[in-house]
Amino acid sequence: MGLPRDGLAEAETALRLAETCGDPFLTALALTVRGAANNCLGVLDPALADFAAARDLLQRIGSRFLAWPLCGLGDVHRTRGRPERARAAYEEALALAEPRREVLGVSAALIGLARVRAVDDLPAARALAERAVALGEPLRHVKALLTRGWVALMAEDRKAAAADASRAAAAARVRRDDPGLAEALVLGVLSSDAPTRHSTPLAEAIQIWAETGCRIEEAAGRIVAGRIGATIVEAGIDLAERTLRAVGVELESRRVAGPLAVVACLTPAVSIRLLGVFQVLREGAPIPSHAWQSRKARDLLKILVTRRRPVSRDHLMELLWPEVEPTRSGNRLSVLLTTVRDVLAPPPRDTDATPLITAGNTVWLDRTQVRIDVEEFLSHAGPALEAHRRGQADATDRLLAAEAEHTGAFLEEDPYQDWAEPLADEVRATYIALLRAVVSRLRSAGDVEGAVRYSLRLLEQDYYDEQAHLDLIQVQLDAGHHGEALRRYRVYVRRMTELGVEPRPFPHARSASRRAG
């Protein structure tokens, strides 16, 4: 099938004609094409219904093409991250199509099976992908090459994956298969030696998917861009994840061969949380307190994270033991470094794989091997604020997504540590800027409840923010909540009095026309 929107329109026309003629085979064929188009467009429930209806029709008339809707059902289950149900559909399709030498069905089944078998049996998946490519079915040649490339990459064969990415891109250009070209670009990026440095084609792939309406692939591309740290301002990883979940995609189980499965393997196993209570997780499980052996080991890691650059051993000893002679604290630091290295190293304990790096007199964290919540918050907040300044249509959603990542005050159990102050100030200033932008947008949209909620969060950050008080009062007045507005005004007056600042007069409710303007 070509572009999914065109395919959908053609399928609708064909379906009307087939139903008018009363031809069950043509009706099933049109339903299958419509299901495939909707699957590409991310409209999964109608796609599932169309494939099921087509399957029932073809089964009733004993058609040799029953494998087509069965593969469609497998595709929807695979898209949603349900490999066992997908495998069952593909295996049934292959068992029906292969004895009849029905090449289209065999090709589709082999491609789907190769992708889902990558979950539990990479050698079997590679063999299936090889069969799909060797079959040489021209309509699915690009998909077969891409499948073989993704499976090779999951087997850590970057060279083979890169070769298939190049072949698939060339074939897609010849066939004017834009979605296929986009996927080939992503495969090429992820199969390179340094995906982050070679991430430029990701932006083009995301744009292609957006233009062709392939919103699931577009969302997956944005997640890939965010996970590898690509410099794409519009990456929008949080919105992308919400988009996928909204159509029933189970992100946590996306292990079938493809970009999300590959990028999951690239995602660091260790996560460090500094927003709220300090916590380190490995493979999603918190590191138990006894593994640290001492509070100083935790402090050492906090310092390394907050400094954001290599730190000398001398400076670390000064920060950790300011009143102890360096000759005595040197051994202590070595013990702490060993503890932190053991905590962060993935099992089995391999010192070469640990994010903690020591070289000469300096110590630092390899940030490509860890996820740090505060850095992710800042990296998403900046583009969201820029989208707000530019007046982009998705700015509100991006601001709200970034605000949701602020799960607590920066190192709330260590609020007064000098070494944490610069980053703490940056996080607080960024969060306040986000809240101001959110309140502004929600007020403009007439969302009184939302504007009040986020205004209160803003005041939690600074009780004496005069403008935040006045904005909150005005929102309540404009909504006709005069009693609540008066109560908030009294709070405002009390806060200003504490500062010795003359409070402004109680404001007046604006007319509806002024609010609209």
Specify the DSSP class assigned to residue 196.
T
CATH class of 446-517: mainly alpha
pLDDT band at 81 (very low <50, low <70, confident <90, very high): confident
pLDDT band at 515 (very low <50, low <70, confident <90, very high): very low
399-418 pLDDT tens trace = 988 888 898 888 887 777 88
How many Cβ atoms sit within 10 Å of the Cβ of residue 404?
Answer: 12
CATH 1.10.10.10 fits 280-372, yes or no: yes
Distance CA 48, CA 42 (A): 11
Distance CA 375, CA 152 (A): 32
Helix/strand/coil for 154: helix
Alpha helices in 253-372, H assignment, sequence order: 259-266, 295-307, 313-320, 326-344
* Stretch (H or E) spanning 281: strand 279-282
Helix/strand/coil for 182: helix
pLDDT of residue 350: 46
Q: What's the mean pLDDT when you consider all of the chain?
A: 88
Distance CA 268, CA 248 (A): 25
262 Cβ contact list (under 8 Å, min separation 6): 150, 153, 154, 190
Q: Is the preceding peptide bond at 348 cis, omega within 30 degrees of 0?
A: yes
pLDDT at 432 over 90: yes
pLDDT of residue 516: 44
Query: CATH topology for 64-266?
Result: 1.25.40
- Which one has a higher pLDDT value, 353 or 287? 287
- Please work out, in degrees rounded to the nearest 5, the angle formed at the alpha carbon of residue 320 by the alpha carbons of 314 and 323: 85
- Whole-angstrom CA distances from 361 to 241, 318, 324 are 42, 14, 19
**Cross-strand partners of 81:** none
CA atoms within 13 A on the CB side of 358: 12
185-207 pLDDT tens trace = 999 999 998 887 777 899 899 99
pLDDT at 514 over 80: no
471-500 pLDDT tens trace = 899 988 888 888 999 999 999 999 999 999
pLDDT of residue 255: 75
Amino acid in position 281? L
pLDDT at 510 over 70: no
- Which one has a higher pLDDT value, 145 or 329? 145
Using the CB atoms, write b or e for 87-119: b if 16+ within 10 Å: bbbbbbbbebbeeeebbebbbbbbbbbbbbbbb
Judge whether 64-266 and 446-517 match in fold: yes
Q: What are the residue ranges spanned by the domains of the chain?
A: 64-266, 280-372, 446-517
Helix/strand/coil for 167: helix
